Structure 1
Amino acid sequence: MVIMTNGFVKGCLPEELKRVLRSVAASWGDVIDDMGALCVIRLSGAMTNEVYQINWPTKNGEIVRKVLVRIYGEGVEVFFNRDDEIRTFECVSKHGQGPRLLGRFPDGRVEEFIHARTLSAADLRNPEISALIAAKMREFHTLDMPGPKNVFLWDRMRNWLREAKSLCSSQDTKEFSLDTLGEEISMLQKELSHDHLDVGFCHNDLQYGNIMMDEETRSITIIDYEYSSYNPIAYDLANHFCEMAANYHSETPHVLDYSKYPDLEERQRFVRIYLTSTGDVPTEEQVEKVVQDVEKYTLANHLFWGIWGIISDYVNKIDFDYKEYARQRFHQYRLRKLALLDS
């Protein structure tokens, strides 16, 4: 058995996970007698959980079964309610929008392995792939999910800010101006909350690693719903644009390159495809209004992920410079704030 991990003890899987894997295998008519027959491969790029691909051969050896195992990151329960996230996962799956949940164990879960490739940072700038993502986002935003359909963004940021204040040293509290961030959140909420904004079920973390594409059918699958909630769709589009500045598979995965942020023409094209994907024919004025709203919601994104980075530096053991990531998000917020709010 090959294991590349910080989460698993080398050469040994948790007993609860073994039980789930045997159960999943049995449901497919397989028998896993020897755990040594498993091949365990760590998948890189995740910053909240640890993710693994686990393979085993069928009896006749003609087929290799594959599942995805997600080990929950330490301390990440401060960001979201795990039970709520599981319910979201199951509901999205029932809508045919993502992988099936195959089993759960105390420290994680087993998911259906999607036979598609995870996108790369460069893929987000590919016009053909970007158009497919835009259409899939519109489809995702119209999912009818259970529970209240209220905007969750502002309350979540305030909850996270309280958590950050409780964790941070006085030095970090001063550096990141945590004592005044509450005022910034309230100001943004007042400036960005408008009746004309469409609210939908948003992914809220649409980086390239959470998007998969079947090379044959060119179909897009959005995965990983830990941060999903109802929000203005402008916030989700802004999140996706901001993620174009990131490459989590580089030698410096925490460094953001805003020269790769999409230019106005790219943003207009994306929004136009997003709006027309359901058969609507928006006017240029409608497209431009959404583009403007999206650009302003980048500010909320910078605050959101800046606070996330501060907390993650204290609670998450994944090898990632969360604090430097937070510095860059707050710097970008300050850099763009006046221009965007005055526009």
Structure 2
Amino acid sequence: IQECNILSMRHHSSDLAIIDYEYASLGNREFDLANTFCEMIEDNAYPYFPYIALYLENCPTQEEFEEYSKYYLELYHESFGAPEETKEEYVARELPQFLENLYCCMVFDGYFWGIWSILMIEEDKINDKIFNFSLGVLRMKITHHLLTLDFVKEAVDNKIRKYKASQE
């Protein structure tokens, strides 16, 4: 959870709301999770110049991606699933495609936010310029790191193969 994404309710001080509206319109559940995983690797509140840091060791393992995705799909089925399909059947059917989409979205997320942060650089704001450039570089480094993971490369290659086959 990034800073400024936790709200405390005025009338009920013990109630909290977690928000993150900046990319909600993209509407892809795998993209939302991909962004969450990428944010686990970076620290936008790092106290020293350039005020952002990268921790590749925080990147989840393939097993952690799978466990988190299974849990997500189980909760999704409990909320929206069809009663004629068990939770286990739903997860078994959805998980392979969900993981492939998740890994591809993580690569896209790194490029998307990397380019976005560089486009946000304003000439007259030196500190913002340095921060946004640093964020852009970090997101590109995250993307590069992800593409060194065999299971991510395999998912991206598989997606490209499917697209090429659909064009023939």
- Verify: 1:277 aligned to 2:75, yes or no: yes
* Residues 210 and 222 in structure 1, CA contact (< 8 A), matched pair in contact too: yes
Q: State the AA in 2 paired with 1:284.
A: A
| TM-score under structure 2 length normalisation | 0.64
Rounded Cα–Cα distance in structure 2 between residues aligned with 1:219 and 1:267: 29
Q: Which residue number in structure 2 is paired with residue 251 of structure 1?
A: 47
Q: Which residue number in structure 2 is paired with residue 313 of structure 1?
A: 121
Change over 3 Å in CA distance of 1:296–1:314 after alignment to 2: same
Report the CA distance between 1:326 and its aligned residue. Answer: 1.0
Normalized per residue, which structure has more helix?
Answer: 2
- Verify: 1:265 aligned to 2:63, yes or no: yes
* Residues 110 and 142 in structure 2, CA contact (< 8 A), matched pair in contact too: yes
- After TM superposition, the structure 1 stretch with the greater mean CA deviation from structure 2, 318-327 or 240-249, is 318-327
Report the CA distance between 1:287 and its aligned residue. Answer: 2.1
Report the CA distance between 1:234 and its aligned residue. Answer: 1.3
Change over 3 Å in CA distance of 1:269–1:337 after alignment to 2: closer
Normalized per residue, which structure has more strand?
Answer: 1
Change over 3 Å in CA distance of 1:226–1:286 after alignment to 2: closer
Q: Which residue number in structure 1 is paired with residue 17 of structure 2?
A: 221
Change over 3 Å in CA distance of 1:296–1:219 after alignment to 2: farther
Q: Which residue number in structure 1 is paired with residue 5 of structure 2?
A: 210
Rounded Cα–Cα distance in structure 1 between residues aligned with 2:4 and 2:67: 22
Over alpha carbons, which structure has the higher Rg?
1
Report the CA distance between 1:209 and its aligned residue. Answer: 4.3
Aligned residues with identical type, % of pairs:
25
Change over 3 Å in CA distance of 1:254–1:299 after alignment to 2: same
Report the CA distance between 1:309 and its aligned residue. Answer: 1.5
* Residues 208 and 243 in structure 1, CA contact (< 8 A), matched pair in contact too: no
Identify the match of residue 31 of structure 2 among 215, 235, 259. 235
Q: State the AA in 1 paired with 2:37.
A: F
Any stretches of 5+ residues in structure 1 without a counterpart?
Answer: 1-118, 120-206
Rounded Cα–Cα distance in structure 1 between residues aligned with 2:156 and 2:22: 30
Any stretches of 5+ residues in structure 2 without a counterpart?
Answer: 82-86, 159-168
Q: Which residue number in structure 1 is paired with residue 164 of structure 2?
A: none
Rounded Cα–Cα distance in structure 2 between residues aligned with 1:284 and 1:266: 17
- Verify: 1:286 aligned to 2:94, yes or no: yes
Q: State the AA in 1 paired with 2:5.
A: N
Change over 3 Å in CA distance of 1:310–1:275 after alignment to 2: same
Q: State the AA in 1 paired with 2:141.
A: H
Identify the match of residue 330 of structure 1 among 140, 146, 156. 140
* Residues 74 and 91 in structure 2, CA contact (< 8 A), matched pair in contact too: no
* Residues 100 and 156 in structure 2, CA contact (< 8 A), matched pair in contact too: no
Change over 3 Å in CA distance of 1:213–1:266 after alignment to 2: farther
Rounded Cα–Cα distance in structure 2 between residues aligned with 1:238 and 1:227: 12
Change over 3 Å in CA distance of 1:337–1:261 after alignment to 2: closer
Rounded Cα–Cα distance in structure 2 between residues aligned with 1:293 and 1:254: 28
Q: Which residue number in structure 2 is paired with residue 341 of structure 1?
A: 156
Rounded Cα–Cα distance in structure 1 between residues aligned with 2:55 and 2:105: 19
Q: Which residue number in structure 2 is paired with residue 91 of structure 1?
A: none
